[in-house]
Structure 1
Amino acid sequence: MKRVSVDDVENSVQPAATMRPLTDALGLTDVAVNYYELEPGDSFAFAYHSHEVQEEAFYVVSGVATFETEDGPVEVGENEVVRFGRDEFQRGWNRGDEPVRALAIGAPLEYGTQAKLRYCPACDTETESELRAVPDGDGDENGRDAVVAECVECGAETGRWYEGSTDGEVP
């Protein structure tokens, strides 16, 4: 048995106020588990995306999460669970006025190929994006780490998220 306090797990640079990756902390080998707290306007993910191998389930502890899907938006409220199959595109948001708290569970642990679509202003369309970490305080003038999204078509930056901030939707 392994037991951890969510508050003891280090926060990750994400487009959510809080994302605590519980997988390693719990020593999990076959399933991914992440804890999220989304403030209004925050997202679970950097992009509208799908996983080649992994299916995901999101359990909303409190608040209402709105997921972009190929069939349109889907609202998932407190004590509800939504599942996304392999290769099914989705991105969850907090579109409300109250915080959202949720668990994301993915299995198997590996994603396989992950398709990530973001709007590229230079290409004026949704394009595949690649994410890269900007570690060691090189993310900005305040020495914060960052994650940057770049268009694979033209190389334009389509988003930047800083450690301790969720302000990355507009580069």
Structure 2
Amino acid sequence: MQTIDVDDLDAAEGPQNRASVSEPLDAEDFAMNYYALDPGEAFTGGLHAHLDQEETFLVLEGEATFETAPSPTAETETVTVSAGQLVRFEPGEYQQGRNESDEPLRALAMGTPQESTDVRVAGPCEECGESEYLRFAMVDGTPTLECPDCGAESAI
């Protein structure tokens, strides 16, 4: 058995004000991250989908606003999730969450399976303009977007 206290996690030290919860718990089958977002901050850099992972957010404090869409070109729907509420996104569902309130936001994001290797980011390719989404990948340790149509890569 493993225990941790989320108040001991320093989300401000991680990327996007995120701290891993699954690592200190030695979790092998699910991913969990703790977020501490100030007003105006977002969970990630933009509208994206995990084609191989479902993702659930539990708001611990504050209020999170999510945009969601079934595809990268579909019109987005907005939903607000308050403290004590959860929202789940199916694999392949595009989503982006942020803190649009005037108060701090603390939340847990849980994904299963643990490793998501097929992440798509909504947006056209700067090289060919053809694709409506780009693949996220780590290339030599650098976050990169890859076009599935022309193969162009751009570092984030």
Superposed CA RMSD in Å reads 2.8
- Distance, in Å, in 2 between the alignment partners of 1:36 and 1:115 is 21
1:114-166 per-residue CA deviation (whole Å, 9 max, x = no partner) reads 1122577886x96526465898xxxxxxxxxxx76657476566x5xxxxxxx
Q: TM-score normalised to the size of structure 2? A: 0.75
**Equivalent in the alignment of 1:30:** 29
Q: Is 1:61–2:41 an aligned residue pair?
A: no
1:12 maps to which of 14, 37, 43: 14
- Distance, in Å, in 2 between the alignment partners of 1:46 and 1:131 is 14
1:77 maps to which of 72, 82, 92: 82
Query: Is contact 2:145–2:153 with CA below 8 Å preserved after alignment?
Result: yes
Cα distance, 1:64 vs. partner?
1.2
- Distance, in Å, in 2 between the alignment partners of 1:76 and 1:155 is 35
Q: Structure 2: which 5+ runs fail to align?
A: 70-75
Report SS of the residue matched to 1:26.
coil
Q: Structure 1: which 5+ runs fail to align?
A: 136-146, 160-171
**Equivalent in the alignment of 1:3:** 3
User: Residues 1-171 of structure 1: matches in 2 within 5 Å?
Assistant: 1-9=1-9, 11-14=13-16, 18-70=17-69, 71-118=76-123, 127-128=133-134, 130=136, 150=145, 152=147
- Distance, in Å, in 2 between the alignment partners of 1:50 and 1:61 is 23
Amino acid paired to 2:26: G
Report SS of the residue matched to 2:60.
strand
Cα distance, 1:104 vs. partner?
0.7
Q: TM-score normalised to the size of structure 1? A: 0.69
Amino acid paired to 2:3: R
- Distance, in Å, in 2 between the alignment partners of 1:113 and 1:53 is 6
Query: Is contact 2:120–2:133 with CA below 8 Å preserved after alignment?
Result: no
- Distance, in Å, in 2 between the alignment partners of 1:27 and 1:85 is 25
1:47-92 per-residue CA deviation (whole Å, 9 max, x = no partner) reads 2111122111111111111111114111111211101011111010
Give identity over the alignment, percent.
Answer: 34
